Structure 1
Amino acid sequence: MPSTLPLGDPAPDDGRFPDDVAHRVRAAAEAGRPRTFSLYVHVPFCTVRCGYCDFNTYSAEDLGPGASRSSYADTVSGELEFAAQALTASDVPPRTLETVFFGGGTPTLLPASDLVSILDRARELFGVTPGAEITTEANPDSVTADSLRELAHGGFTRVSFGMQSAVPHVLATLERTHRQENVPAAVGWAREAGLEVSLDLIYGTPGESLADWQSTVEAAVALEPDHISAYSLIVEDGTKFGAAVKRGSVADVDPDDQADKYLLAERLLSEAGYRWYEISNWARDPEGTGAHRARHNMAYWRDQDWWGAGPGAHSHLAGVRFWNAKHPAAYAQRLATGVSPSVGREEPDAEARFLERVMLGVRLAEGLEISALEESAPDGGAHAKREIAAMIAEGLLDGRAAVTGRVVPTLQGRLLDDAIVRRLAGF
């Protein structure tokens, strides 16, 4: 969740939605394609703000009334109550939560009891589908065996640890606070608590060799997590890292180096029994069922609905996007005065929706339906079909998948995802 909010129209103070939102939700259900509903909870607290981080996070424990760590669970629960009222007032059909994801920041800097209390309030207000995926992000040094047991007992099913690297000098460059030896202990505690485990990795850090990256992937695989995410380091403007690159004190990322590391990750992970299902994500999948995929993230990529609670959090409801006040104090103040925490709203036009559909679809191993291009492209998909044929010939798209009606990138195509999107979208 980037720290900069987009431009958009002002959101109404009462949180009411346009009438056609309820209509779209009903129409999708009646057509046999019901829109799923998820919850994202943003926890903005960190012990240290990493130099590469562009998320809406803060290292202070107290950010104003209603925005301190001690009061944060009550504040977010207040937003959930507001959300339930706004959806009811807008006549949006009730739906239970398919997934819940606590992200940050570092959610586990809050007591486990606070995270469970927020989840309990969501369950009371919306209901949670049996077998729902309930995830929290965590730093390996922010959990204990007891806190993970408490989370599991409270209904959490999954924890995503920010491992990032197994190499001390890379962790130091990234300004990560944990020591690598914390990771196996945290994974072991999560396993003992009955939680699924995901590990997040970052590649392409300045000074990271190919051998460093190989040792990181091998260390992650050795812990036998259910899921592994591997993200290329992106140097964002406005971050400490970005300033250092501009000064020349830190080398910029090298796209060729990152490509080599991606290919290495794909080889090592596939050899260890992980299957890619999204460009940056792999899951254990010996039966080919997709059982350990991150269902919450799949809801994003499949353009489903979610409510984002917390400062700066973004939401999506049947084509309407909206976002909360960025600073935790401003966010808490709005809720305290009975005003919607949402400060902006937009409804992308047909062209923007088409581009987004392409961008999301071609990231997935399940691909993008060619029929979707025919339905949503301005020219009925004629341009896209010509480009699909050309990119199959160039080895960027899977020809067999195209025969079955889907656009799926090859391994080489995954490295050139942006180019595929531009060509399919016609720009």
Structure 2
Amino acid sequence: MPRLPDGDPAPPSGELPPGALDRLAEGRLAEGRLGVYLHVPFCSVRCGYCDFNTYTLTELGPGASTADFADTALAELDLAARVVGDAAPPVATVFVGGGTPTLLPPADLVRMLDGVRERFGLADDAEVTTEANPDSVTPAGLAELAAGGFTRVSIGMQSAVPHVLATLDRTHDPARVGLAVAAARDAGLATSLDLIYGTPGESLDDWRTSLETALALEPDHVSAYALVVEEGTRMARQVARGELPAPTGDDEADKYELADALLAAAGYDWYEVSNWARTPADRCRHNEGYWRGDAWWGVGPGAHGHVGGVRWWNVKHPRVYAARLAAGESPAAGREVLTAEQRRDEEVLLGVRLREGLDLARLDDVGRTAVAGLVADGLLEGAAAVRDRRAVLTLRGRLLADTVVRRLLGS
């Protein structure tokens, strides 16, 4: 797992610096929106490629059980309500991620959502998502989530090919994905499928099979992410020992182009480099909030939050997290107050990944000068740059988004 960032100490009260809540309270620009992220750190098995802050139950020991987790999360929501206070607008989006949130009973997930509603209120059109594994949901459980206010489920399909799933240490039967999508749809929930491409040993035909299988299920939304072999994971050790081949950029580029072509042909539009939706209404609004720089409170071990240019992160271990809250203290391990330059850099980094692109007025002189060369190199759309004064990635630009960002920032 990656270590927590360096930063300044966070106060035990969790209070934010003066002025951090001003823009949220005034409802100006993006920061007038508030999201809540709830991190559920439990998994039935640890996948070899994953470096998220997750734990199997045998790793945790006393003080961090699934039975206690909802109450602990509610205690952090109490803290959030004290800190944000009257500055908070109704919550626009809630995202329950993990781990595998649906290892918790549906009643606990609904109780955490009720905790958000009771402390902050929910916008009338609030988007409420939970992640799920195909084998961690039942029709009855999904119906209970929908009745409790959830609107969306994001299912970790990853692949439809058994040998690829085995390399990823995913344990579900591929047939379970279709059953989970059908049950979610019957419950009235919007559906998203998460896919991974570039797994060692995955052929282009394997990836085509996964895409075609996903599209046959007609989800509302598809995410497709290139596999990154993260340092410290079991897969990284397998690659280092030569047991698995390392993913290559050319292979992942071919698979991204195939994904974009098949998804576009099926009526899905890209709206962020790794995300496609049937309609604008099917986009993941919670994730759009991250990319726009909205405010959100991250609840759970290792969760990050951001309000008014202040970013903080919680202690990682669930037992330490629970102990902090039981003592009446913030679980935040550290924080940083972003400088104006850091905020601008993040706006470029994230904004250019969106289909709407980045307003050229947000660039400095170096960035604006770089635009013409990026258009000439086929990385930015020329018409959008000239007519709309926006930096919008071409397909080739999406493949080289990091290069585009570096040139726009002059780094």
Same fold judged by TM-score > 0.5?
yes
323, 340, 346: which one aligns with 1:350: 340
How far does the alpha carbon of each residue in 1:283-329 deviate from its partner, in whole angstroms, 9 at most, with x for none? 002xxxx1100000000000000000000000000100001111000
* Structure 1 residues 30-109: aligned runs within 5 Å: 31=28, 35-60=32-57, 63-88=60-85, 93-109=87-103
Change (3 A) 1:389 1:135: same
Structure 1 position 413 matched with structure 2 position 405: no
Structure 1 position 330 matched with structure 2 position 320: yes
Structure 1 position 247 matched with structure 2 position 241: yes
Change (3 A) 1:265 1:388: same
Which residue in the other structure is 1:14 paired with? 13
Distance, in Å, in 2 between the alignment partners of 1:55 and 1:93 is: 31
State the Cα distance separating 1:228 from its structure 2 match: 0.2
Secondary structure at the residue paired with 2:282? coil
Change (3 A) 1:245 1:62: closer
Distance, in Å, in 2 between the alignment partners of 1:33 and 1:304 is: 5
State the Cα distance separating 1:82 from its structure 2 match: 1.2
293, 310, 317: which one aligns with 2:300: 310
How far does the alpha carbon of each residue in 1:226-275 deviate from its partner, in whole angstroms, 9 at most, with x for none? 00000000000000011111111111011100000000000000000000
Secondary structure at the residue paired with 2:55? coil
Distance, in Å, in 1 between the alignment partners of 2:201 and 2:389 is: 43
For structure 1, the 5+ residue unaligned runs are 374-380
Q: Partner amino acid for 1:304?
A: D
126, 130, 150: which one aligns with 1:156: 150
Distance, in Å, in 1 between the alignment partners of 2:269 and 2:76 is: 37
Which residue in the other structure is 1:234 paired with? 228
Structure 1 length-normalised TM? 0.94
Report which structure shows greater RCO (CA 8 Å, sep ≥6). Answer: 2
Distance, in Å, in 2 between the alignment partners of 1:394 and 1:257 is: 22
Q: Which is further off, 33-42 or 228-237?
A: 33-42
- Check conservation: 1:62, 1:69, Cα contact below 8 A: no
Structure 1 position 190 matched with structure 2 position 184: yes
* Structure 1 residues 125-274: aligned runs within 5 Å: 125-274=119-268
How far does the alpha carbon of each residue in 1:73-130 deviate from its partner, in whole angstroms, 9 at most, with x for none? 1110111011111222xxx612111000000000000000000000011100000001
Distance, in Å, in 1 between the alignment partners of 2:25 and 2:182 is: 44
Distance, in Å, in 2 between the alignment partners of 1:122 and 1:350 is: 31
100, 117, 121: which one aligns with 2:115: 121
- Check conservation: 1:65, 1:332, Cα contact below 8 A: no
- Which stretches of structure 1, 4 residues or longer, exceed 4 Å deviation after superposition? 31-34
How far does the alpha carbon of each residue in 1:41-97 deviate from its partner, in whole angstroms, 9 at most, with x for none? 000000011000010000116724541001111110111011111222xxx612111
Q: Partner amino acid for 2:164?
A: V
Secondary structure at the residue paired with 1:364? coil
Distance, in Å, in 2 between the alignment partners of 1:62 and 1:246 is: 25
Task: Say what the alpha-carbon RMSD is for the aligned residues.
Answer: 1.2
Change (3 A) 1:108 1:258: same
Structure 2 length-normalised TM? 0.98
Change (3 A) 1:337 1:53: same
Distance, in Å, in 1 between the alignment partners of 2:69 and 2:39 is: 10
Structure 1 position 284 matched with structure 2 position 278: yes
Q: Partner amino acid for 1:82?
A: L
- Check conservation: 2:157, 2:177, Cα contact below 8 A: yes
Distance, in Å, in 1 between the alignment partners of 2:111 and 2:2 is: 26
State the Cα distance separating 1:276 from its structure 2 match: 0.1
Structure 1 position 299 matched with structure 2 position 299: no
Distance, in Å, in 1 between the alignment partners of 2:49 and 2:191 is: 24
Secondary structure at the residue paired with 1:230? strand
Distance, in Å, in 2 between the alignment partners of 1:8 and 1:271 is: 46
Change (3 A) 1:3 1:210: same
Secondary structure at the residue paired with 2:205? helix
Q: Partner amino acid for 1:56?
A: N
State the Cα distance separating 1:26 from its structure 2 match: 3.8
Q: Which is further off, 66-75 or 99-108?
A: 66-75
Change (3 A) 1:255 1:200: same
Distance, in Å, in 2 between the alignment partners of 1:56 and 1:34 is: 27
Matched length: 410
Aligned-residue sequence identity (percent) comes to 58
- Check conservation: 1:229, 1:280, Cα contact below 8 A: yes
Which residue in the other structure is 2:365 paired with? 382
Distance, in Å, in 2 between the alignment partners of 1:6 and 1:174 is: 27
